[in-house]
Structure formats: structure tokens, C-alpha cells
Structure 1
Amino acid sequence: MKTKKILISITFTGLLYVLLVGFINQPENVYEDIQQKKWVAPASADKIVNPLKDDANAAASGKKLYKAMCSVCHGPKGKGDGMAGAGLTPKPTDLINETFQSQSDGAIFWKIAEGRAPMASYKSSIPEKKRWEIINYIRTLK
């Protein structure tokens, strides 16, 4: 029960952060600039190795975390159609499309950790192991 309350609190805080980042001190054309630029992780991210690769238990745990933390924007099936994502620019990524799925686990890990407006950085709010679990679950969506 305590874990559920913590996840709800983190989800709410993350959502609030995403919404605030999108509205505070942004020039008018910042969203157009972001929307037109492809989000590419640095080449060094491809060298980051997933320590939980092919771990079914990690994917199962990642599914719970995904539902609590990610589905609100990325949607329950990862299609980028979550309720909170509807008003965001750029729109949340479709996690099941081939372009996204062709990225290395390290690149996805880097993006989750670093974030890019309107997506928050989760480096300090989601422990490293939990981020890997989410990635393992995202891999099952394709």
C-alpha cells in the first residue's frame, strides 16, 4: 500500500512538472522548434548496457511502473495517446513504432534519465534499476 502511494505521488509530481515546464518562461516558438527537431541520444548512450536485458521478471515489474508513471502520457499500450499527453507539444512518442523500437536500450535509458520538454527528467525520481525495468516492458509492446 505504501509503494502504491509513493508511485501515485511520483506520478502526480511528474505530471505537474511536465505541465509546468511546458508553460513557464518559454518563447512562443519553442514548441515548433522542439517538434521539428528529432530527439537523438548521444552516441555514447548506445554503449550503455541493459543489465536486465531479457529478464521477464524485470519486464513484469516494469509494466507496473509503466502504468503508474508513463501511460498517462504515452498511453496504456504505448501509442503516445495518453490523456495527459493530448495537450502536449510535441506529442508523446509512440513507443511501439519501429523508429522508437530500433533505438538501443542505452539510448532509451538516456532519454528517460535526461528528459526533454515537455517530458521530465527521471534521473533522480526513478531509480536506475526501475528505469531498466520500464525499458524491458516497453520492449514487449512492439
Structure 2
Amino acid sequence: MNKKRIFPGMTIVMVVSFLFLGFNSHSQEKWVAPLSADKIVNPLKGDVNAAANGQKLYKVLCVVCHGAKGKGDGVAGAGLTPKPTNLTSAEFQSQSDGAIFWKIQTGRAPMASYETSIPENKRWEIINYIRTLKK
């Protein structure tokens, strides 16, 4: 084979691949719940027992990606794109409980939908715990 023909072809493939991977990793749009989610009311808001139960669930279901303190630094999250959300950030915490509920229920790659695998009241317990993670 002629090296002069292969090299330019490989270069083009590599450049296009790097451009695609670079744009792809940064081009995921910000995850915003629909406005209707803000109307979803947390039936367990302020319930200390719900937050304690939520902490137990968080340790089993969420810690692997979001980390022990909710900073998005869990061991399984390291290889994900986009990275898991920092649940302690002001930006995240400024969302309504309904918006967070909607995200947990709906999911978005790489985060799974938990609509059928976590009962509704347990999702609210997790949200009550997440609210305790504020910076």
C-alpha cells in the first residue's frame, strides 16, 4: 500500500473523530424540567423521617454516581458523559422539588428513569434527603 495515500486518510478520520467527540461531550443541552413539573407538590416536604429514609435509599441507589456527599463524584460517575450532577450546588438546589422529582422519574442518559423501579413515596424521600445536602 502507498503510505502517502493512507496517511492523509487516517489524518482526516482522526480529526473528524476528535471534533465529533469534543463537540459531543460538551454539546449536551442543560437538563431542564418542563414548567409543569414545578406544580408537582412534595407530599413529604419537611418530614424528618422521610429524609432519614431517603438517606438510606440514596446510599443504595444514588451514591455510586452522585457520591457520598452528593457532589457528583461517585466511582461509577467518573466515566459518564455528562458527569453526574452536583446535588449540593446552588443551581441544583434552586430547582423545585417537583422538577427534581420529574428528573428522577423521567431520567436522561446516562441516568436511568426510576418511574417504575422506585415507588413514588420513596422518590420523595430521596428528594427530602437531597435537600439536606445544600452547601
Please indicate the TM-score interval, normalised by the length of the shorter structure: 0.7 to 0.9
Q: Following TM superposition, by how much is the alpha carbon of 1:32 offset from its aligned partner in structure 2, in angstroms?
A: 2.0
| Runs (4+) off by over 3 Å | 33-36
Equivalent residues of 2:54, 2:126 under 8 A apart: yes
Q: CA deviation at 1:36?
A: 3.3
Query: What percentage of aligned pairs have identical amino acids?
Result: 75
User: TM-score, structure 1 length as denominator?
Assistant: 0.77
Cα distance in 2, alignment partners of residues 89 and 139 from structure 1: 24
Q: Which runs of 5+ in 2 are unaligned?
A: 1-19
Give the conservation status (yes or no) of the 8 Å contact 2:64–2:74.
Answer: yes
User: Match of 1:122?
Assistant: 114
Give ranges in structure 1 of 5+ residues lacking alignment.
1-27
Counterpart for residue 44 of structure 2: 52
2:58 paired with 1:66: yes
Checking the alignment, whether the CA contact within 8 Å between 1:35 and 1:89 is kept in structure 2 is no
Aligned residues between the structures: 115
- Which residue number corresponds to residue 82 of structure 2? 90
In structure 2, how many angstroms separate the alpha carbons of the residues matched to 1:120 and 1:62? 18
